[in-house]
Amino acid sequence: MQTSTINIENIRRDFPILQRKVRNNKPLVYFDNAATTQKPIQVINSIHNYYLNYNSNIHRAVHQLAEEATAAYELTRDKVAKFINIKNREELIFVRGTTEAINLVSYSWGRQNVQKGDIVLTTEYEHHSNIVPWQLLTKEKEAKLEYIGVDDNGELILDQLNAYLDTGRVKLVTFSHMSNVLGTITNADEIIKQCHKKGVKVLVDAAQSVPHMKVDLQKLDCDFFAFSAHKMLGPTGVGVLWARKAILENMQPFNGGGDMIREVHKYETTWNDLPYKFEAGTPNIADVIGFSAALDYLENIGMDKVREHEIELTKYALEKMLTIKGIKLYGTPDMKKRGGVISFNLGDIHPHDLATIIDEDGVAIRSGHHCAQVLMERLDVSATSRASFYIYNTKEEVDVFIRSLNRAKELFRI
Amino acid sequence: MQTSTINIENIRRDFPILQRKVRNNKPLVYFDNAATTQKPIQVINSIHNYYLNYNSNIHRAVHQLAEEATAAYELTRDKVAKFINIKNREELIFVRGTTEAINLVSYSWGRQNVQKGDIVLTTEYEHHSNIVPWQLLTKEKEAKLEYIGVDDNGELILDQLNAYLDTGRVKLVTFSHMSNVLGTITNADEIIKQCHKKGVKVLVDAAQSVPHMKVDLQKLDCDFFAFSAHKMLGPTGVGVLWARKAILENMQPFNGGGDMIREVHKYETTWNDLPYKFEAGTPNIADVIGFSAALDYLENIGMDKVREHEIELTKYALEKMLTIKGIKLYGTPDMKKRGGVISFNLGDIHPHDLATIIDEDGVAIRSGHHCAQVLMERLDVSATSRASFYIYNTKEEVDVFIRSLNRAKELFRI
Amino acid sequence: MSSADIYREIILDYYRNPRNYGKIENPDISKRDSNPLCGDELEMHINLKNNLVSDVKFTGKGCAISQASASMLTELIMGKDFEYVKKLTKEDILENLGLPDLGPARIKCALLSLKVLKYGIYSYVSEKLNDTTSADKIKEEASGLF
Amino acid sequence: MSSADIYREIILDYYRNPRNYGKIENPDISKRDSNPLCGDELEMHINLKNNLVSDVKFTGKGCAISQASASMLTELIMGKDFEYVKKLTKEDILENLGLPDLGPARIKCALLSLKVLKYGIYSYVSEKLNDTTSADKIKEEASGLF
Ligand SMILES: Cc1ncc(COP(=O)(O)O)c(C=O)c1O
Ligand SMILES: Cc1ncc(COP(=O)(O)O)c(C=O)c1O
């Protein structure tokens, strides 16, 4: 029950769901972490405790509950600032998730800054959340959405970036820091360097990176940065958008409503200070507070340890999977360039059928297009199966998974 | 501990926070329900139970956790449909709250349907959430935002509606079903009838009505309808937008991303069926599921009983308050036309100072502009104090509140 | 149902060797749809003669269940009276597949072919036969499948 | 702090009878701001002569704390050296008010006047004195207040 890096037994005790039996009384093997992770009892209790003891709307009342709830909500902002190492807490905006964060940028920054004929540049391995908002924007503005290609190793073809930058029409380059299908870690430093040379803004979709490796925004030096709490031990319904203050100050608001205003008059209104200008309406108070406990939990383990553990597990799984005849693995074999996400196909078994079969053995993986249909087209498959790991997963669980894959092969007579 | 209509003692036992002592060991008297309500243990446990037992992303995986989470999430949609009596569950969209619901309509429907010179008509007693989105829209479109006035009784001056409708330029009339400051219940039937005669669409901001009275959408016959779970015993971070299918089908999507698409290709994309077309990204799964328990709780009591209880309590409070010299009450005295929200001012004590003083006695009220600065201008005050009731409040608590108001008077030597 | 029950020899055979796979030129009925959740795609072509299904073909990508279901459906309706085809239900399809108890996660796979068929019939009945009453009923059935 | 400590006679007196309430025509420094949370508004006018505050007035709406704080602040700076005024801190204001331990919900009320003063000085220093280095420092202090 141990990789060399972290004490998994202790960790597993914090996740009550891992004791659960599924289907025919099989222990749960949860390998669907790229979709959402499980939550430690510390997070679950923190939400519980909020509702039991100090539930209140925030920011605008003087009574004690409001005071306590406001302080706890704002404390999470401080913790996020520390977690990704940024200086100005007011640059952090709480949203529902990565999807809303990217849409916020598209609506507020994009509609102001992207004009007819401009290019928004994304990549072939994006999640739909980092494609569709830009399709909507570029269609409205008669601008163009273009794609950096993916090579056969599952890495971006960065030469194409420069060709696009040379047109002088690129306004934004936006990419996933880690592919949710291939696990590829994008060479973000290089892309950002090239873009900033030409004054082009960069958005980093960090939904899959922040949960799995140390990210330091003062080093990364991008312009927009988005991620989701539910993919890093936190509650559903919380995400974070970070952007530079100078950019946020010049952006139009996104949603209008309570909390984001300074003064409302019938015919004109002024905006509140950052970050509130972008947090309209009652936020998801309980879950933002719960997210604090998730950040504490990860800080406690240490993100470098998280990454090491996942590398060890992924290596182990890849080696075992390669012994299965008929398996096709996607993505790079270079562990330095990938995270703990393994996409594969097994013979002619459709991923949906595979997932159903191994679910019978208690193994939860994801199958389908993973909200990355553009990448599916590139890989020329309609779907893949995907196993993705987190801090509580073990080599023993990988063994169960491997045995289950072999059973699927037998059932499909291959 | 009893009004004639519901068994408050039993109800209070379900709300653990009501046992809490605040400030100098004073029992909590929570009269800030229009801002957010407290949650019964059933709701709190339902969220707890989700994270302990079947947390998973939904809609796209075949493993057991995903199956269970998806079923529970979709069950809430069925319960909402029943609660507000609509036929087509696919007309219900989960959002973060009323604010996001209104912004969704403004972005998706408004930008398609409101043109230069058109009028969006709102009222002087709206929450900022039902003003600012329309300011943003009408500014972008060079359209106009106009206001139905409020009379000295705190009721809308409906003659003005007809004058605006007669211009033939009104595209949307949008109003709060119950004012969050005055408690006034809007004559929605009349407004909707007038509007539909002229083919004008109507949005009802039901943030304050659905929690406090029976609302039947088949009778109400509006076009858009929005409310927040957190104001009706539900978790923070969940709201509902309802709109007619025919309207939703013709609306552009709001946020782009996972779940809302049918097929994504590089340069064109098709949309998913309703309601998913408007639910981009991982939703607030846990809290949507928790909202089910809130709906069950209210159904169990019965919304007519909720309303009766609040009427009785409000009457009692108004009578007692009127005995305090120097008090000024806003809104109509006619209980049939108002909900359990009481706005007032006491002598020259600023509402903020008043709230601070009575907070010392454990009484939580709200003070300020209540996100209704346009109404504050109309009332010619910079702020009011607001006490608002819910099912767990008692006459004994009102007595504590009244004593505390008198203490404030003494402190301010009036 | 256990996987062993689902992935019987016959399902795998229809998955790997689909009957009536292909296209018809200028078909009377032609419909394509996809399942937004899993990405399965299906297109169905049908010719009618004297109110009977004179030819039917399908193409698609997807799981064993969806593809076997589509192929078996084409066999089921080939040569049949159009009225019979119009009335096919969810239960007919699941029984024909031999998978009466599929769970909620996979039942959509089995029913995609029926959905495509019903939407195809809907277009045909409303556009070519101008029978909007029947058409609306069929559309409602189709959208009610999942 | 208890309410009895906060709402002492002197605070109520400054709230009800604010000193230096009003406006100055063509003031050297003029600034208006509001607290987005509670809606309190404050405008401050200042004249300088030989680097001393020769006149100061304020208008505003708001709670006893914010209005008394503003009025007391005007008295504190009247006739003072501009350098002294520039250096005023949060602690100076709270001490001047006699409310050193205000809780988080109300401290913003007490500090609104200092915030308006600092933003006013910022505009003056940057626009009229063209001293951007000092101005930036003052702006940072102002935005750090709450
Ligand atoms: C009438 C009214 N409309 C809209 C809102 C906004 O709701 P939310 O903050 O949940 O988005 C509120 C409550 O704050 C309200 O009272
Ligand atoms: C790379 C990537 N981007 C964006 C998202 C969308 O995140 P969310 O669904 O939390 O909005 C996901 C996960 O679903 C993802 O993996």
B357 pLDDT higher than 80 = yes
Q: What is the token pair recorded at B233?
A: 């015993």
Q: Is A46 in the pocket of ligand 2 (CB under 6 A)?
A: no
- The pLDDT, as a whole number, for residue B374 is 97
For C28, other C-beta atoms within 10 Å of its C-beta total 17
Antiparallel, parallel or unpaired: β B26-27 and B21-22:
antiparallel
The whole-angstrom separation of Cα C50 and Cα C20 is 21
Contact D36 A263 (CB under 8 A): yes
Q: What is the DSSP string of B27-96?
A: EPEE-BTTT-----HHHHHHHHHHHHHT----SS--SHHHHHHHHHHHHHHHHHHHHTT-S-GGGEEEES
B275 pLDDT higher than 80 = yes
B interface toward D at CB cutoff 8 Å?
348-353, 356-357, 360, 367-369, 373, 376, 382-383, 408, 411-413
- The pLDDT, as a whole number, for residue B2 is 55
Q: Is B205 in the pocket of ligand 1 (CB under 6 A)?
A: yes
The whole-angstrom separation of Cα A111 and Cα A106 is 7
The residue with tokens 């029992």 is: B27
**Domain extent at residue C38:** 3-143
User: pLDDT by residue (tens digit) across A252-291?
Assistant: 999 999 999 999 999 999 999 999 999 999 999 999 999 9
The whole-angstrom separation of Cα B277 and Cα B259 is 7
How close B315 comes to chain A (CA, Å)? 24
The residues that bridge with B27 in the sheet, in sequence order, are B21
Contact D65 B368 (CB under 8 A): no
C39 near A CB under 8 A: yes
Identify the CA nearest to B259 among candidates B10, B36, B51, B60. Answer: B60
What chain D residue is nearest to B23 in terms of C-alpha separation? D2
The whole-angstrom separation of Cα A19 and Cα A91 is 39
C-beta of residue A107 within 8 angstroms of C-beta of residue B253: no
Q: Which residues contact B42 (CB under 8 A, 6 or more apart)?
A: B14, B293, B294, B296, B297
Identity at D89, one-letter amino acid code: T
Which 87-106 residues of chain C touch chain B by CB within 8 A? 103-106
Asked if the bond preceding D36 is cis, omega within 30° of 0, the reply is: no
Identity at B129, one-letter amino acid code: S
Identify the CA nearest to A50 among candidates A69, A75, A74. Answer: A69
Q: Do domains A8-30+302-412 and A46-299 have the same CATH topology?
A: no
| ipTM, two decimals | 0.95
Domains of chain B, by residue range, sit at: 8-30+302-412, 46-299
CATH number at residue C100: 3.90.1010.10
Helix ranges (DSSP H) in A84-206: 98-104, 111-113, 132-141, 158-166, 188-197
Q: Residue D128 class from Cβ within 10 Å (0-12 exposed, 13-18 middle, 19+ buried)?
A: exposed
- The pLDDT, as a whole number, for residue B61 is 80
- The pLDDT, as a whole number, for residue C103 is 85
Q: What is the token pair recorded at A98?
A: 């990565």
Residue % of chain B over a pLDDT of 70:
99
C-alpha torsion angle, residues B183, B184, B189, B193 (rounded to 10): -130
Which 104-123 residues of chain D touch chain A by CB within 8 A? 104-106
The residue with tokens 């020259």 is: B348
Tell me the three state secondary structure of residue A63.
coil
Q: Phi then psi for B101, rounded to 5 degrees? A: -60, -45
Q: Greater confidence, B132 or A62?
A: B132
Identity at A172, one-letter amino acid code: L
User: pLDDT by residue (tens digit) across B1-37?
Assistant: 555 678 999 999 999 999 999 998 999 999 999 999 9
Q: Residue C19 class from Cβ within 10 Å (0-12 exposed, 13-18 middle, 19+ buried)?
A: middle
The whole-angstrom separation of Cα D90 and Cα D141 is 10
Contact D3 B352 (CB under 8 A): no
> Among this protein's residues, is A222 annotated catalytic?
no
| Count of structural domains within chain D | 1
Asked if the bond preceding A27 is cis, omega within 30° of 0, the reply is: no
In chain C, which stretches have pLDDT less than 50? none
Residues from chain A contacting residue D104 (CB–CB below 8 Å): 67, 70-71
Q: What is the DSSP string of A198-252?
A: TT-EEEEE-TTTTTTS---HHHH--SEEEEEGGGTT--TT-EEEEE-HHHHHHSP
In chain A, which stretches have pLDDT less than 50? none
User: pLDDT by residue (tens digit) across B173-216?
Assistant: 999 999 999 999 999 999 999 999 999 999 999 999 999 999 99
**Fold exhibited by the domain A8-30+302-412:** Aspartate Aminotransferase, domain 1 (3.90.1150)
Which atom of ligand 2 is nearest to A96's Cα?
11
The answer to whether domain B46-299 has CATH 3.40.640.10 is yes
Identity at C70, one-letter amino acid code: A
Angle in degrees, 0-180, between the axes of helices D132-144 and D104-123, rounded to the nearest 10: 170
The whole-angstrom separation of Cα A374 and Cα C35 is 16
Pairs across A and D, CB distance < 8 A: 22
The whole-angstrom separation of Cα A328 and Cα A348 is 10
Angle in degrees, 0-180, between the axes of helices B64-83 and C104-123, rounded to the nearest 10: 60
User: pLDDT by residue (tens digit) across D70-89?
Assistant: 999 999 999 999 999 999 99
Best mutation target among C2, C33, C37 (most B Cβ atoms within 10 Å) is C37
Which one of A57, A100, A102 has the shortest CB-CB distance to B35? A57
Task: Return the partners of chain D (3 or more C-beta pairs < 8 Å).
Answer: A, B
Best mutation target among D6, D10, D14, D38 (most B Cβ atoms within 10 Å) is D38
The residues that bridge with B205 in the sheet, in sequence order, are B176, B226
User: pLDDT by residue (tens digit) across B297-332?
Assistant: 999 999 999 999 999 999 999 999 999 999 999 999
C-beta of residue B51 within 8 angstroms of C-beta of residue A17: yes
Mean of per-residue pLDDT scores for chain A: 97
The whole-angstrom separation of Cα A49 and Cα B171 is 46
In chain D, which stretches have pLDDT less than 70? none
Number of residues written out for chain B: 414
Q: Residue C140 class from Cβ within 10 Å (0-12 exposed, 13-18 middle, 19+ buried)?
A: exposed
Tell me the three state secondary structure of residue D31.
strand
Contact D36 A272 (CB under 8 A): yes
Contact B131 A258 (CB under 8 A): no
B346 pLDDT higher than 70 = yes
C-beta of residue B103 within 8 angstroms of C-beta of residue B130: no
Ligand with an atom nearest the CA of residue A125: 2
Buried/exposed code over D44-57 (b: 16+ C-beta within 10 A; e: otherwise): bbbbbeeeebebbb
Ligand with an atom nearest the CA of residue A98: 2
Which 53-92 residues of chain D touch chain B by CB within 8 A? 61-65
C-alpha torsion angle, residues B351, B354, B360, B362 (rounded to 10): -60
Helix (H) or strand (E) holding A388: strand A384-388
C-beta of residue A190 within 8 angstroms of C-beta of residue A160: no
Identify the CA nearest to A368 among candidates C109, C144, B187. Answer: C109
C-beta of residue B405 within 8 angstroms of C-beta of residue B399: no
Chains C and D physically touch (3 or more Cβ atom pairs below 8 Å):
no
